[in-house]
């Protein structure tokens, strides 16, 4: 029997395999894992091979999940078994089993030896002084060969099934626990004034199950209509292949003519509503006092647009899609998009998990008795082995005492015993020496293994540092990711930093990089930074010590155009200091941890230190291509000079009204006009001030585990310091 630490609920459907793993933590049901494996073809398609498709799905399930250490609960279709509910006359509780056996012979149309069957008294049954008065008993049966056929794929896959339940009963267990638990726990069932009932329509691929329950009583019926009937209707009327019709059904709203699709499927809509109406009408004829307030729909067919609304409108009931479970927790599973998209199909798997964890209303199982007996025997084998071992130990002790007495009466045996002891001592010494050698080898392999396993974090360090450097580069988020034209935003007003290259070099000792010249330059840069932010410079610049030990030095080359003369003090190198250098000092960098959670780290935590601006040059006037330039403006008009007149290839213009002195190009974003032309001419190049810079920064790598450990140590130290301060304050107040 598998461990009861968790339970897998598995439903092998016609379109997909659904599996959900839950565990009981306190009073909460926690979803720990799930799987949804859709078959390449539906099992009911003519060309499909059901056995192969199910085997492939189970093999994929075993590859992706651990099924060996958990209890396995499996569902079987409702139409493959028998579920009957009857009201026995008042009888002693201990005689209920005999009464049920008699009823089973009447209700089950097969020899009981050919059937796997079980029974259970329903909740709300009245028992007084050992007598069952107002009670109802559920009788559940399934042909033995049918059970064997259902278990065969699981046996072939090596998955041991601990519990077999019919899908409608698993759905009832889900409803009773998830939606009706307060009613069942607190109310006493009264047959004259029963509580309101809920209808749950579970739409399958070929058939649908209808369950009507008020928590205490169940009525269920399997209907021969399902999602495939919509597909076959499209196949028949629109002359499509099954695969195309299925795709069209799932994406009806995106079809060329959605109205035609829904009109084609309308007969199936009507048939389904008719079947539900007939079933509810028959239920009401048997239960005159029953009141139905709502209808829940489950199964992936509910995704079909308009289905729920159509059923609700024609039945006159409040219809809700069962796409969430009120008492199921575990956001790691419930928040996954695949689970949310297919939540309506996990009602059966959820009910199976509840029964496996022992908190469901129905606890019957259709696992054959002989299989249960085999597992009980297998479970008791270790105890039998332990008993035999205990017996052998007792016999050995008895033999030892007997041998001791015999040895005392035969002194000649001691010589041989002494020789044997000496031989054993030599043998022991030899093995102890070999053991010591192997321990040394084991220590070496352990160190080697730790070194190899630690590379899983180190291999990500370069990806992290490149992402960190990229995150510190200032950029402007332009609409649609496209920079505006120079007319809309001149280059001199764009604070973007452009990096043209990044190089790296490793130093066995970074002290060889932090020379006296570099140290002087770094202290000078700290003084420059102190003008912008007092927190960035130390109190005594002479005490700055450089890095030591192995590490890397990154060199970033780049430029920017943010050099307008109207920004005195904020252009050139100062702009690099305010942005890039400041970011390298304290810009939080978001990186994922082992679980995929995003954690912000400061550059210093990542090992980035000592950002240094190597040069402090002035911006230079350069020519850059004008993005607004249209080469067609250079074409000369018919019979005259070119539109650019005497403009040279560098973008300068001949002297004239409005021309820049010295043949320079107009200002950025300005326009040139050709003599005698009304058309505005855009120069091919622009004159802008560009500042080139070189920045170096030290990187001493550390792993994610080391970063988190250092952060935790700092947190604990801060808490201890705060606690010490509070205690000191309390002592001071007592002294006063």
- The confidence score (pLDDT) of residue 672 equals 43
CA–CA separation, 498 vs 495, rounded Å? 10
Which range has the worst mean pLDDT, 131-145, 447-461, 633-647, 655-669?
655-669
**Would the pLDDT of 122 be above 50?**
yes
Q: Is 411 helix (H, G, I), strand (E, B) or coil?
A: coil
Arithmetic mean of pLDDT, 315-321: 88
CA–CA separation, 703 vs 117, rounded Å? 59
DSSP 113: G
Could you read off the pLDDT of 264-301 as tens digits, one per residue? 888 888 898 999 999 999 998 988 888 898 999 998 88
**Would the pLDDT of 675 be above 50?**
no
Arithmetic mean of pLDDT, 216-234: 87
Question: Which residues touch 549 (CB under 8 Å, ≥6 apart)?
Answer: 509, 510, 700
CA neighbours within 13 Å on the CB side: how many for 576?
Answer: 28
Provide the pLDDT confidence category of residue 600 given band limits of 50, 70 and 90.
very high
**Residue 151 Cα distances to 94, 117, 683, angstroms:** 33, 16, 81
DSSP per position, 312-343: HHHHTSEEEE----TTEE-HHHHTSHHHHHTG
**Would the pLDDT of 29 be above 90?**
yes
Six token digits for residue 693: 């810079």
Question: Which residues touch 117 (CB under 8 Å, ≥6 apart)?
Answer: 104, 108, 139, 140, 141, 142, 366
Provide the pLDDT confidence category of residue 633 given band limits of 50, 70 and 90.
low
Q: Is 732 helix (H, G, I), strand (E, B) or coil?
A: helix
CA–CA separation, 74 vs 202, rounded Å? 17
Arithmetic mean of pLDDT, 511-527: 90
Six token digits for residue 413: 């045996």
- The confidence score (pLDDT) of residue 634 equals 62
Q: Is 274 helix (H, G, I), strand (E, B) or coil?
A: helix
Q: Is 271 helix (H, G, I), strand (E, B) or coil?
A: helix
Strand residue runs (E) in 490-563: 498-507, 551-560
Arithmetic mean of pLDDT, 101-108: 83
- The confidence score (pLDDT) of residue 659 equals 33
- The confidence score (pLDDT) of residue 171 equals 94
CA–CA separation, 197 vs 194, rounded Å? 8
**Residue 448 Cα distances to 437, 443, 454, 703, angstroms:** 17, 9, 10, 18
Top-ranked range on mean pLDDT: pick from 251-260, 265-274, 449-458, 523-532 = 265-274
Provide the pLDDT confidence category of residue 407 given band limits of 50, 70 and 90.
low
Q: Is 201 helix (H, G, I), strand (E, B) or coil?
A: strand
Domain boundaries, the chain: 1-179+329-367, 188-325, 375-410, 411-453, 462-621+693-702
Question: Which residues touch 621 (CB under 8 Å, ≥6 apart)?
Answer: 687, 688, 689, 690
Determine contact, residues 37/345, Cβ cutoff 8 Å.
Answer: no
Other CB atoms within 10 Å distance of the CB of residue 612: 21
**Would the pLDDT of 700 be above 90?**
yes
**Residue 159 Cα distances to 43, 352, 368, 394, 536, angstroms:** 21, 16, 16, 40, 63
- The confidence score (pLDDT) of residue 406 equals 67
Q: Which long-range contacts (CB under 8 A, 24 or more apart) does 481-489 make?
A: 485/627, 485/628, 485/669, 486/626, 486/627, 486/628, 486/668, 486/669, 486/686, 487/628, 487/669
Other CB atoms within 10 Å distance of the CB of residue 144: 17
Six token digits for residue 172: 């009832």
CA–CA separation, 670 vs 487, rounded Å? 7
- The confidence score (pLDDT) of residue 82 equals 87
725 phi and psi angles, rounded to 5 deg: -65, -40
CA–CA separation, 35 vs 19, rounded Å? 5
Same CATH topology for 1-179+329-367 and 188-325: the answer is yes
Determine contact, residues 245/234, Cβ cutoff 8 Å.
Answer: yes
CA–CA separation, 474 vs 322, rounded Å? 49
Nearest alpha carbon to residue 23 among 41, 5, 50, 1: 5
Provide the pLDDT confidence category of residue 636 given band limits of 50, 70 and 90.
low
CA–CA separation, 549 vs 511, rounded Å? 7
Determine contact, residues 344/323, Cβ cutoff 8 Å.
Answer: yes
Q: Which H/E stretch holds residue 389? A: helix 369-408
**Would the pLDDT of 561 be above 60?**
yes
Its pTM surpasses 0.85:
no
Dihedral sign for Cα 287, 288, 293, 299, please.
positive
Arithmetic mean of pLDDT, 313-341: 90
Provide the pLDDT confidence category of residue 30 given band limits of 50, 70 and 90.
very high
CA–CA separation, 413 vs 425, rounded Å? 18
- The confidence score (pLDDT) of residue 451 equals 64
Determine contact, residues 201/297, Cβ cutoff 8 Å.
Answer: yes
Output the average pLDDT for the chain: 83
CA neighbours within 13 Å on the CB side: how many for 122?
Answer: 27
CA–CA separation, 703 vs 530, rounded Å? 32
Provide the pLDDT confidence category of residue 471 given band limits of 50, 70 and 90.
very high
**Would the pLDDT of 303 be above 90?**
no
Nearest alpha carbon to residue 217 among 254, 187, 262, 246: 187
Provide the pLDDT confidence category of residue 640 given band limits of 50, 70 and 90.
very low
- The confidence score (pLDDT) of residue 206 equals 85
CA–CA separation, 238 vs 260, rounded Å? 10
**Would the pLDDT of 649 be above 50?**
no
**Residue 240 Cα distances to 141, 232, 245, 604, angstroms:** 41, 9, 6, 64
Which CATH topology does 1-179+329-367 take? Answer: Nucleotidyltransferase; domain 5 (3.30.420)
Arithmetic mean of pLDDT, 182-197: 82
CA–CA separation, 493 vs 485, rounded Å? 12
Sheet with 318-321, edge to edge strand ranges: 218-223, 208-213, 197-203, 292-298, 318-321
CA–CA separation, 552 vs 539, rounded Å? 27
Could you read off the pLDDT of 38-71 as tens digits, one per residue? 998 888 887 888 899 999 999 999 999 988 889 9
CA–CA separation, 612 vs 694, rounded Å? 8
Arithmetic mean of pLDDT, 703-723: 89
**Would the pLDDT of 390 be above 80?**
yes
In the chain, % of residues over pLDDT 70:
89
Is domain 188-325 classified as CATH 3.10.28.10? Answer: no
CA–CA separation, 232 vs 240, rounded Å? 9
Could you read off the pLDDT of 529-546 as tens digits, one per residue? 888 776 665 555 556 788
CA–CA separation, 254 vs 520, rounded Å? 68
Helix then strand then coil, % of the chain, to nearest 5 = 45, 20, 35
Q: Which H/E stretch holds residue 238? A: helix 227-238
Could you read off the pLDDT of 411-422 as tens digits, one per residue? 666 677 778 888
**Residue 569 Cα distances to 415, 481, 528, 532, 576, angstroms:** 103, 29, 11, 10, 12
CA–CA separation, 218 vs 87, rounded Å? 12
Provide the pLDDT confidence category of residue 679 given band limits of 50, 70 and 90.
low
Determine contact, residues 380/39, Cβ cutoff 8 Å.
Answer: no
Could you read off the pLDDT of 328-386 as tens digits, one per residue? 999 999 999 999 999 999 999 999 999 999 999 899 888 888 787 777 776 677 777 88
Determine contact, residues 690/562, Cβ cutoff 8 Å.
Answer: no
pLDDT greater at residue 473 or residue 635: 473
Which range has the worst mean pLDDT, 351-355, 477-481, 690-694?
477-481
């Amino acid at each position: 029997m598998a461990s009861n630490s968790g339970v897998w609920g598995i439903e092998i459907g016609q379109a997909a395999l659904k599996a959900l793993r839950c565990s009981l933590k306190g009073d909460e049901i926690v979803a720990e894992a799930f799987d949804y494996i859709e078959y390449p073809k539906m099992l009911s398609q003519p060309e499909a091979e059901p056995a192969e498709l199910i085997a492939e799905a189970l093999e994929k399930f075993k590859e992706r999940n651990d099924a060996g250490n958990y209890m396995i609960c499996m569902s079987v279709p409702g139409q493959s078994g028998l579920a009957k509910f009857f009201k026995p006359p008042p009888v002693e509780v201990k005689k209920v089993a005999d009464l049920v056996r008699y009823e089973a012979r009447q209700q089950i149309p097969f020899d009981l030896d050919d059937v796997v069957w079980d029974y259970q008294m329903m909740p709300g049954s009245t028992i007084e002084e050992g007598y069952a008065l107002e009670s109802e008993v559920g009788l559940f049966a399934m042909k033995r060969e049918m059970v064997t056929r259902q278990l065969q794929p699981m046996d072939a896959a090596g998955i041991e099934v601990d519990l077999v339940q019919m899908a409608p009963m698993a759905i009832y267990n889900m409803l009773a626990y998830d939606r009706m638990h307060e009613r069942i726990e607190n109310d006493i069932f009264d047959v004259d004034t029963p509580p309101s009932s809920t209808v749950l329509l579970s739409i399958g691929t070929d058939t649908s199950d209808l369950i009507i329950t008020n928590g205490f009583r169940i009525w269920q019926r399997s209907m021969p209509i399902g999602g495939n009937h919509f597909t076959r209707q499209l196949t028949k009327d629109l002359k499509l292949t099954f695969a195309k019709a299925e795709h069209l059904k799932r994406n009806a709203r995106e079809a060329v003519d959605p109205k035609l699709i829904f009109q084609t499927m309308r007969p199936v809509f009507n048939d389904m509503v008719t079947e539900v109406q007939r079933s509810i009408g028959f239920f009401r004829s048997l239960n005159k006092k029953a009141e139905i307030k709502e209808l829940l729909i489950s199964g992936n067919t509910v995704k079909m647009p308009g289905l729920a609304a159509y059923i609700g409108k024609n039945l006159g009931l409040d219809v809700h899609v069962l796409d969430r479970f009120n008492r199921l927790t575990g956001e790691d599973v419930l928040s996954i998009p695949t689970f949310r998209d297919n939540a309506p199909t996990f009602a059966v798997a959820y009910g199976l998990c509840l029964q496996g964890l022992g908190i469901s209303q129905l606890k019957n199982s259709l696992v054959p008795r002989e299989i249960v007996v085999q597992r009980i025997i297998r479970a008791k084998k270790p105890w039998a082995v332990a008993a035999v071992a205990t017996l052998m130990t007792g016999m050995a002790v008895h033999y030892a005492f007997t041998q001791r007495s015999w040895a005392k009466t035969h002194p000649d045996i001691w010589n041989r015993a002494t020789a044997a002891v000496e031989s054993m001592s030599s043998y022991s010494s030899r093995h102890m020496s070999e053991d010591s050698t192997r321990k040394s080898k084991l220590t070496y392999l352990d160190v080697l293994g730790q070194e190899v396993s630690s590379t899983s974090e180190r291999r990500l360090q370069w990806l992290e540092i490149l992402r960190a450097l990229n995150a510190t580069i200032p950029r402007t988020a332009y609409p649609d990711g496209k920079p505006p034209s120079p007319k809309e935003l001149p280059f001199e007003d764009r604070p973007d930093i452009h990096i043209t290259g990044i190089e790296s070099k490793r130093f066995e000792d970074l002290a060889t990089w932090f020379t006296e010249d570099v140290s002087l330059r770094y202290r000078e840069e700290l003084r420059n930074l102190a003008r912008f932010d007092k927190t960035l410079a130390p109190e005594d610049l002479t005490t700055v010590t450089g890095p030591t030990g192995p590490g890397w030095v990154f060199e970033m080359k780049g430029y920017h155009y943010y050099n307008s003369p109207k920004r005195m003090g904020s252009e050139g190198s100062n702009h690099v200091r305010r942005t890039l250098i400041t970011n390298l000092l304290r810009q939080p960098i978001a990186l994922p941890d082992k679980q995929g959670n995003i954690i912000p780290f400061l550059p210093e935590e990542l090992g980035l230190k000592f950002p240094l601006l190597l040069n402090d040059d002035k911006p230079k006037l350069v020519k850059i291509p004008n993005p607004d330039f249209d080469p067609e403006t250079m074409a000369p008009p018919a019979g005259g000079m070119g539109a650019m007149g005497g403009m040279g290839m560098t973008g300068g213009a001949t002297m004239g009204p409005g021309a820049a002195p010295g043949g320079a190009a107009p200002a950025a974003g300005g326009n040139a006009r050709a003599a005698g032309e009304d058309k505005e001419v855009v120069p091919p190049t622009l004159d802008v001030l560009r500042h080139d810079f070189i920045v170096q920064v030290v990187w001493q790598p550390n792993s994610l585990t080391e970063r988190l450990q250092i952060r935790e140590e700092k947190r604990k130290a801060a808490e201890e310091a705060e606690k010490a301060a509070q205690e000191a304050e309390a002592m001071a107040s007592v002294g006063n």
